[in-house]
């Protein structure tokens, strides 16, 4: 048998709301053409993010009912600790309410120091943190601390149509060059995001992870991973990297993390949870500093901003994500949408990544200049035409301004269709493809957008736009 079916049964359903094009035009206008400002009940197919949007299993819901809500030393924390240590292997696991809290705690400690009076002094101005590609909150937490967030993905990762089995790899030559130029003393940590979200959900090879670790160790620089989608990355290694085809996902994951000094993780991705995450490390002194900041800002070290029931759900989800039947379904069902779009001439990042399809909006809407944000224009048209919510990953999310206020565009102008885990059926995905096909026939009529209001950091969340 070659047919891949969902390795689960559906026991509960949620009603979705149908709207007309006229309805959606009014909704878009009221939301200032920003999908983050659209009420969720007005969305038909929600592909804005795969973060915290998964359908939890019966075992996860059972764990929620059984959660121990003791303030300190709860049974749920110790189960959470046991499972995370088994998979990730670090000495210290600190729970937080989600991934960006882990990033804030980690980067605050890497990019600041305490003076003799106990005051926190920021030291990030001369510092730089390299990565394959920093995603939005990672970059924001680094830049908020006055440091430089540097992207060093391999050249193949910058070209949507280029085929490479591990387009998420960091460029090892450029990493060495950056360290030599910046100075190891000015690089508090090297990061690696698996899979590479900003670069199309592309995986990173075990060889690349190992060699990055060797470079970091040679220069005495800590090496951390953004591990949000570690299991999907491990499954790609099993499929594509010689020598791993007969290893189980747990073994591959354990090897990946063995080359690192710690990680951050949003459990809202590969742990199927609706909330939660952690920061983990081996270094005792760093752990003490992170724990102290956690207690000030998140909560006690055995709950860190989470209810006991959340930790139960995360622990169960981390065990479920190691199931190869699920991962086979997950990767293939994402590729199913990619195959349908490619067959109908919709340009996407190839090969298809694990959690999302990334449409090349710059190519698809070539009549819209980058200054009018073709990705955001496509996001708006997808919602107007079909009630599909997606997100721009281009010059709104990652673009900058130079010293003269001129826009410096991102490397790519993409629209991400992030597929929530265990939520949508094949007919929902077929509908998404049908909307794209209809949209393609009238794409020359799509207008660009302009920013009318924006914050300094993470502007894609709250900016307001108008049509050009």
Q: What angle do CA 54, 391, 37 make, to 5 degrees?
A: 90
Buried b (16+ CB within 10 A) or exposed e, 384-415: bbbbbbbbbbbbbbbbeeeeeeeeebbbbbbb
Q: What tokens appear for 191 in the block?
A: 């990061």
Q: What tokens appear for 128 in the block?
A: 């730089």
| E-only strand ranges, 19-91 | 45-46
Beta-carbon contacts of 39 under 8 Å, excluding residues fewer than 6 positions away, are 27
C-beta separation of 170 from 130 below 8 A: yes
Domains of the chain, with CATH numbers?
21-50+323-467 (3.90.1150.10), 58-320 (3.40.640.10)
| 3-state SS assignment for residue 266 | strand
Q: How far apart are CA 422 and CA 54, in angstroms?
A: 6
C-beta separation of 135 from 175 below 8 A: no
C-beta separation of 269 from 229 below 8 A: yes
Q: What angle do CA 146, 152, 157 make, to 5 degrees?
A: 135
**Long-range contacts, 182-186 (Cβ 8 Å, 24+):** 182/128, 184/219, 184/220, 184/221, 186/126, 186/127, 186/128
Beta-carbon contacts of 409 under 8 Å, excluding residues fewer than 6 positions away, are 370, 394, 395, 399
Residue 125: predicted pLDDT? 75
Q: Is 162 exposed, middle or buried (0-12, 13-18, 19+ CB in 10 A)?
A: middle
Beta-carbon contacts of 243 under 8 Å, excluding residues fewer than 6 positions away, are none
Q: What tokens appear for 197 in the block?
A: 């979200």
Q: How far apart are CA 353 and CA 333, in angstroms?
A: 11
Q: How far apart are CA 443 and CA 449, in angstroms?
A: 15
Please state whether beta strands 407-408 and 400-401 pair in parallel, antiparallel, or not at all (unpaired).
Answer: antiparallel
Q: How far apart are CA 465 and CA 454, in angstroms?
A: 9
Q: How many CB atoms lie within 10 A of CB 20?
A: 9
In order along its 468 residues, the chain shows pLDDT tens digits of 567 888 999 989 999 999 999 999 999 999 999 999 999 999 999 999 999 999 999 999 999 999 999 999 999 999 999 999 999 999 999 999 998 899 999 999 888 776 666 666 777 678 999 999 998 888 888 988 889 999 999 999 999 999 999 999 999 999 999 999 999 999 999 999 999 988 889 999 999 999 999 999 999 999 999 999 999 999 999 999 999 999 999 999 999 999 999 999 999 999 999 999 999 999 999 999 999 999 998 999 999 989 999 999 999 999 999 999 999 999 999 999 999 999 999 999 999 999 999 999 999 999 999 999 999 999 999 999 999 999 999 988 888 888 888 888 888 899 999 999 999 999 999 999 999 999 999 999 999 999 998 888 878 888 999 999
C-beta separation of 96 from 267 below 8 A: no
């Amino acid at each position: 048998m070659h047919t891949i079916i969902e390795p689960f049964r559906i026991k509960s359903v949620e009603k979705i709301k149908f709207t007309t094009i006229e309805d959606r035009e009014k909704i878009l206008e009221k939301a200032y053409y920003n999908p983050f400002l659209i009420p969720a009940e007005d969305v038909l197919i929600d592909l804005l993010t795969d973060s915290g949007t998964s359908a939890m299993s019966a075992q996860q819901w059972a764990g929620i009912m059984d959660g121990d809500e003791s303030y300190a030393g709860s049974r749920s924390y110790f189960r959470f600790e046991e499972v995370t240590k088994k998979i990730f292997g670090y000495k210290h696991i600190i729970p937080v309410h989600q991934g960006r809290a882990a990033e804030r705690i980690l980067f605050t400690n890497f990019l600041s120091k305490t003076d003799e009076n106990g005051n926190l002094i920021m030291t990030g101005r001369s510092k730089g943190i390299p990565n394959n590609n920093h995603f939005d909150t990672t970059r924001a937490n680094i830049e908020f601390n006055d440091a430089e967030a540097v992207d060093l993905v391999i050249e193949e990762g910058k070209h949507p149509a280029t085929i490479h089995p591990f387009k998420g790899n960091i460029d090892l030559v450029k990493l060495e060059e950056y360290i030599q130029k910046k100075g190891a003393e000015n690089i508090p940590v090297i990061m690696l995001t698996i899979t590479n979200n900003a670069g199309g959900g592309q995986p990173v090879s075990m060889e690349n992870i190992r060699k990055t670790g060797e470079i970091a160790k040679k220069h005495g620089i800590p090496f951390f991973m953004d591990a949000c989608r570690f299991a999907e990355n491990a499954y790609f290694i099993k499929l594509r990297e010689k020598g791993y085809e007969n290893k189980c996902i747990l073994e591959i994951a354990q090897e990946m993390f063995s080359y690192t000094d710690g990680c951050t993780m949003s459990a809202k991705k590969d742990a199927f949870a609706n909330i939660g995450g952690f920061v983990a490390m081996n270094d005792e002194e760093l752990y003490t500093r992170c724990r102290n900041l956690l207690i000030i800002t998140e909560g006690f070290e055995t709950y860190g901003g989470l209810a006991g029931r959340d930790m139960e759900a995360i622990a169960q989800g981390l065990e479920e994500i190691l199931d190869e039947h699920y991962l086979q379904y997950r990767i293939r069902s994402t590729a199913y949408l990619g195959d349908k779009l490619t067959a109908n001439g919709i340009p996407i990042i190839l090969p298809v990544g694990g959690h999302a399809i990334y449409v090349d909006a710059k190519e698809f809407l070539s009549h819209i200049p980058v200054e009018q944000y073709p990705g955001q224009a496509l996001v708006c048209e997808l919602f107007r035409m079909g009630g599909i919510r997606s997100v721009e990953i281009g010059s709104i999310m990652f673009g900058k301004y130079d010293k003269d206020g001129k826009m410096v565009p991102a490397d790519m102008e993409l629209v991400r269709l992030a597929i929530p885990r265990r939520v949508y059926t094949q007919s929902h995905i077929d509908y998404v493809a049908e909307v794209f096909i209809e949209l393609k026939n009238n794409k020359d009529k799509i207008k660009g957008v302009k920013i009318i209001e924006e914050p300094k950091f993470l502007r894609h969340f709250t900016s307001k736009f108008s049509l050009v």
